[in-house]
Structures are given as structure tokens and as C-alpha cells.
Amino acid sequence: MNRKDTLHKLLNDAALEVLAFIKDSEFKFKDQDRWVPAVEIKNNLDLNFVAVPRSGKQYGEKGWVFATLARMLEDKSLVEYKKTGSRVFYRSASR
């Protein structure tokens, strides 16, 4: 396996871990139709990172890692996405 394939496999594995967390968390939000707040996912999995070089400017950690992994899951139709106002929610896709 080359480095590209290895990295893509690792990212896919990380995305599947996020999916497992979403599925495990849905029971806590059953009265909200299983929609898990993105902030709940990011904070519990500690997926906030600074995305610029040290010499660059960014004001605080951002959820870009989570956003990338969630999009990977959405592209595979494994999660559903919903935005209400400024809040974002995810749930596992119903099959």
C-alpha cells in the first residue's frame, strides 16, 4: 500500500469512528429524532485543531477535522445533515 492509500484508509477509519460515536449518542437525543449536535460530537471526540502554521493567524481551534470526516460520511450516505439556525446536527442514515 502506498502512502496515499494508507492516509485515505486512516481517514476512512477515523470517519467510521465518528459514525460509531454518532450512533452511540443518538439514544440521548431520541426526543430530537436522533439528531446529535455537531458541537457534542466535536467536543466529546476533541476534534478541534488549529489549521494554520504557527506563524499564521487563526483565532482559536476550529472543527475542520470533524467537518472533513463528517462530509466523507455524508458523501457515502452514512449520515444525514441538518442545520437549524446556526446549529448543525447529524444522525446516522436510515436505511
User: Residue 80 belongs to what domain range?
Assistant: 3-92
Task: Give the count of domains, the chain.
Answer: 1
Per-residue model confidence as pLDDT tens digits over 39-89: 999 999 998 877 667 777 766 667 788 999 999 999 999 999 999 999 999
Q: How many CB atoms lie within 10 A of CB 33?
A: 10
Give the containing element (helix H, strand E) for 80.
strand 79-84
Kindly report the CATH number assigned to the domain that includes residue 37. Answer: 1.10.10
pLDDT band at 26 (very low <50, low <70, confident <90, very high): very high
Query: In which residue are the cell numbers 476550529 written?
Result: 62
Burial (CB count within 10 angstroms: exposed 0-12, middle 13-18, buried 19+), residue 9: exposed
User: Band of the pLDDT at 28, cuts 50, 70, 90?
Assistant: very high
What three-state secondary structure class fits 62?
Answer: strand
- For residue 31, the model assigns a pLDDT of 96
Q: What is the mean pLDDT of residues 24-50?
A: 93
